[in-house]
Amino acid sequence: MAVKGLGDYDEGNIFAKILRGEIPCKKVFEDAFSLAFHDIAPQAPVHVLVIPRGKYISLADFTAKASDAEIAGFFRAVGTVAKMLELEAPGYRVLANMGEHSGQEIPHFHVHIFGGRPLGRMLSET
């Protein structure tokens, strides 16, 4: 079910549990600001999620409240992960869902990195 992407942070969300080490993930990268891991239900040959360590519900929340260092560190990590996965030469897509119309399901800000095949146009028709 889609979340609003606004309001109070839910400590029980699945990415909070991954950050606390309470449930496993297939880790790709981590640093002081970010953790990157494979999506559990990949929609492309490469489908990795990058999340900030801070407690932000959505892109709206992150850009409103995170420090400049957190924002810079996070987006640098997104680029680093794509490079590590050798996606730069063929190209890749970065996507962040925010709120109900986007279908955001997990109320902890995350960026999807898709790659490994031509990805078609930007939006599905449905």
Catalytic-residue membership of 101: no
Angle in degrees, CA 35, 40, 16, rounded to 5: 45
Beta bridge mates, 38: 48
Q: Does residue number 10 form part of the binding site for ligand 5GP (CB under 6 A)?
A: no
Site residues for ligand 5GP, 28-67, by CB under 6 A, read 37, 39-41
- 54: nearest Cα among 69, 37, 44: 69
Taking CB under 6 A as the binding criterion, the range among 58-66, 72-80, 98-106, 114-122 that sits at the site for ligand 5GP is: 98-106
Q: Does residue number 7 form part of the binding site for ligand 5GP (CB under 6 A)?
A: no
Residue 105 CB, nearest approach to ligand 5GP (Å)? 4
Which residue numbers are catalytic? 110
Q: Site residues (CB under 6 A) for ligand 5GP?
A: 14, 25, 37, 39-41, 97, 103-106
